[in-house]
Chains A and B, each alone.
Chain A
Amino acid sequence: MFAYEFMRNAYAAAGIVAVVAAMVGYFLVLRGQTFAGHALSHVGFSGATGAALIGLAPLQGMLAAALAGGVCIGLLGEKLAQRDVAIGIALSFSLGLGLLFLHFYTSHATQATALLFGNVLAVSAHTVRVLLGLGLACLAGLALISRPLLFASLQPELAQAKGVSPRLYASLFMAVAALATALSAQVVGVLLVFSLMVGPPAAAQRLTHRVGTGLALSVALALGSAWLGIALAYWTDWPCSFWITTLSCIAYLAAMMRRRSAP
């Protein structure tokens, strides 16, 4: 199957995205902000369709919108209960806005499905290079803030006393998460980013109590889901995103079962 260029591109794109999503998703799950991550992808959807409408690349629109949304969520602060409602409202509004843009932009009907559910087999070599660049930027940003981010996530009051601003790092992290979401959407689509950003890290956190091991496990599970998913799609001719989400779900369930049976 590697004889085809589109398959090689699909594997490269899925590989890049899986590593980034697994790393960023690890902190998203740790911070209990998975819902925010989900919302970011929807905000990205309205950005992507809006960009298509005015003749820009959807990825650019998605990045811009998700980044703006991420920083807004970060600045909103720590009031979790209120944030859930605000995020939910912003999420549905973004999806509605995206629908309106699509309504005016009727030339490509398949675009909507690709944005919502992903189409990794259609990724070009150029897109792979863009994904690699953005992915590296994303990981570099995460590496830079990871130490204070971990501190501010686990011990916000103490972090503040030690001169680490939880709000600053929340905003910086949400910007990184926005970038990761936009990348993930290229492979599994806006609606299914959870399969790479939440499934593998959540499974990893069930299996280990250590940060380093957890990150490595998260990456391994995401890579496994993404690559095996593409292979299964190749053999069965079913959609890639279906297989990736299914594998991610199986990994999470297996991790839960293993925890239950452990003494």
Chain B
Amino acid sequence: MSTPAIELEHLRLVLGGRAVLDDVSLAIGAREFVGVLGANGAGKTTLMRALLGLIPPAGGSVRVLGGPAQRGNPAIGYLPQTRSALPGVRLSGWHMVACALDGHRLGLALHGRQARIEIDRVLDLAGASELAGRPISELSGGERQRLLLAQALLGQPRLLLLDEPLISLDPRRQQDLIRQVKTLQTELGITVLFSAHELNPLLGALDRVLYLGQRHAALGTVQEVITGPVLSGLYGTPIEVVRAAGRIFITADGMDADGGAHQHDEEQQDHAHHHH
């Protein structure tokens, strides 16, 4: 087997004095599509930020694509959860994607022929070509999401971190986006970490599930992880898993565990403005 895309060893992550993950060890292989699940505050965003090198481990280690996690790693494409794109910005979608290309380099924001080709390539990959000429302020949530996906593909990354890309999308757009990411993942042969609130939309696309909760993590196939005993441990409360009509329902004492968990909005990056 080739080098794993992600290796965590006894990882401990602390955010605002609170341990979000503690003693988590796991490995995610290259070309895997992994759904990252768990209640709000379980550490989905924190884990992604640690992989990006934005949060240093309080213990243990994070290795990404064979090296230690590092800020500005060009091999990682990232779609952030908080999208504080300025509401009044009237620049076109093309410029929104273009600003991320070599955005870390000093100098004028000019784009040569090669840069234009690269921008057009990712717009095409994300199915966002027709959005290139329209101003950001007039785009819907789903359209902005496609531009952000295009942006995450700049520079041919080998690992895609997509933080809650389904938020603010209706079910049909959710399926469109998942299908698109799945196609990209297989065609480009990249690893995808896709975090979501709900498991069901992702069932057809994912290879494995990474479920976070109570500072722990469980990684495995849906069959292995989405079980009463495993989830009870991660939620810290008795959980029942019901499978019906090709869907999976996770309940705690007859209540939808996912739904109840939404209220614990503990993660600091969580005050996102959701565009509808």
Contacts and interface: CB of A to CB of B under 8 A. Distances in A.
B104 A209 contact: no
B16 interface: no
Interface string B211-253: 0000000000000000000000000000000000000000000
B114 interface: no
Interface in A107-131: none
Interface residues of B, number: 35
Interface string A148-160: 1011111111111
B80 interface: yes
A70 to B, nearest CB: 19
Interface string B73-101: 00010101111111011111001100110
Interface string B88-120: 111110011001101111111100000000000
Interface string A216-238: 00000000000000000000000
B85 A211 contact: no
Contact of B108 (A146, A151, A210): A146
A225 B134 CA distance: 29
Contact of A153 (B72, B76, B86): B86
Contact of B78 (A30, A147, A156, A158): A158
A147 B105 contact: yes
Interface in A145-188: 145-148, 150-164
B106 A209 contact: no
A1 interface: no
A170 to B, nearest CB: 13
A211 B91 contact: yes
A211 B109 CA distance: 9
Nearest to B103: A151
A78 B95 CA distance: 22
B103 A150 contact: yes
B58 interface: no
A143 B85 contact: no
Contacts of B83: 157
Nearest to A31: B86
Contact of B96 (A144, A154, A160, A205): A154
Contact of B85 (A152, A155, A205): A155
Interface of A is mostly: helix
Nearest to A208: B90
Nearest to B132: A209
Contacts of A154: 85-86, 89, 91, 95-96, 99
A202 B229 CA distance: 59
Contact of B103 (A31, A148, A211): A148
Contacts of A78: 84
Contacts, number: 100
A31 B91 CA distance: 12
A205 B86 contact: no
B268 to A, nearest CB: 12
B89 A145 contact: no
B89 A163 contact: no
A206 interface: yes
Contact of B84 (A145, A157, A162): A157
Contact of A148 (B78, B106, B151): B106
Specify which of B88, B90, B95 lies most central, judged by the most chain A CB atoms within 10 Å of its CB: B90
A81 to B, nearest CB: 11
Interface in A189-211: 205-206, 209-211
A148 B72 CA distance: 13
A36 to B, nearest CB: 14
Given A154-B85, A154-B86, A154-B91, A159 B107 contact: no
B104 A32 contact: no
B95 A209 contact: yes
B230 to A, nearest CB: 31
Interface in B32-91: 49, 52, 54, 71-72, 76, 78, 80-86, 88-91
A209 B92 contact: yes
B92 A210 contact: yes
Contacts of A206: 90
Contact of A162 (B85, B89, B104, B133): B104
19 contacts: A30-B91, A32-B86, A147-B106, A147-B109, A148-B104, A154-B91, A154-B96, A155-B80, A157-B83, A157-B84, A158-B151, A159-B104, A160-B54, A161-B52, A161-B80, A162-B103, A164-B104, A211-B109, A214-B91
State the 3 A-B residue pairs at the shortest beta-carbon distance, nearest first.
A163-B72, A151-B103, A157-B80
